Chains A and B, each alone.
Chain A
Amino acid sequence: GQNIDQPTEMTATEGAIVQINCTYQTSGFNGLFWYQQHAGEAPTFLSYNVLDGLEEKGRFSSFLSRSKGYSYLLLKELQMKDSASYLCAVMDSNYQLIWGAGTKLIIKP
């Protein structure tokens, strides 16, 4: 079966750096996505990786290793507004998105 694994919850301190991991086993691969979802709100797109390596976008970076079935989202200079759930999703060979359950990130002052 297809599976996306990510930690259920993480805690970090304001101003620090946090890395949220995602491992996947899917039928084919056509890209990996990260979305941010604040409590009670809709998910919003953060990043897309289809080739191995690091994609940087401001304070957020996303890394992909296709051979290891592994990705991480790196958040730098954490702010209180970064408290949210972070969803990892993989597009399989049928171009369907397979979603992880999400990682709830708690930022403490």
Chain B
Amino acid sequence: NAGVTQTPKFRVLKTGQSMTLLCAQDMNHEYMYWYRQDPGMGLRLIHYSVGEGTTAKGEVPDGYNVSRLKKQNFLLGLESAAPSQTSVYFCASSRRDEVTGELFFGEGSRLTVL
């Protein structure tokens, strides 16, 4: 019962470096999301996808790019990391026809940008 899996769990980057966070879900969910969580703030939506091959901007998309080439995978890229992107990143997925809209979260990826 893997659910939603994120890799890597931890990463330290230098300013200007690039990296990709991988999210994989095995529940055949249509919707996938990338959030960031910072102290004293609510979860903020970066990008989301409503199906394979589609992506859309969330509340805080600047500095990030995403791709959903396969239904089960959702990649989050940082092209040129900045200290302001130090955060915990959560991937989540949900069913399209789920009335309650329950989100299933991955365990999080803790990113530090020096």
Interface residues of A (CB under 8 A from B): 4, 8, 31, 33, 35, 40-45, 48, 87, 89, 91, 95-102
Contact = CB atoms under 8 A, between A and B. Distances in A.
Q: Chain B: interface secondary structure?
A: loop
B90 interface: yes
A42 B100 CA distance: 19
Contacts of A31: 100-101
A42 B106 contact: yes
Most A CB contacts (10 A, CB to CB) among B41, B43, B103, B107 go to B43
A100 B108 contact: no
Given A42-B90, A96-B45, 5 more contacts: A33-B100, A40-B108, A42-B106, A42-B107, A97-B43
A46 to B, nearest CB: 10
Contact of A42 (B40, B41, B58, B105): B105
Interface in B56-114: 58-59, 90, 100-108
A47 B104 CA distance: 13
B29 interface: no
Nearest to B107: A42
28 contacts: A4-B42, A31-B100, A33-B100, A33-B101, A35-B103, A41-B107, A41-B108, A42-B90, A42-B108, A43-B90, A43-B103, A44-B105, A45-B102, A45-B104, A48-B101, A87-B42, A89-B42, A89-B43, A96-B45, A96-B58, A97-B43, A97-B45, A97-B101, A99-B42, A99-B44, A101-B41, A101-B42, A102-B42
Contacts of B43: 43, 87, 89, 97, 99
Most B CB contacts (10 A, CB to CB) among A8, A33, A42, A87 go to A42
Contacts of A44: 105
A41 B58 CA distance: 23
Nearest to A42: B105
Nearest to B3: A42
Interface in B8-54: 40-45
Contacts of A98: 42
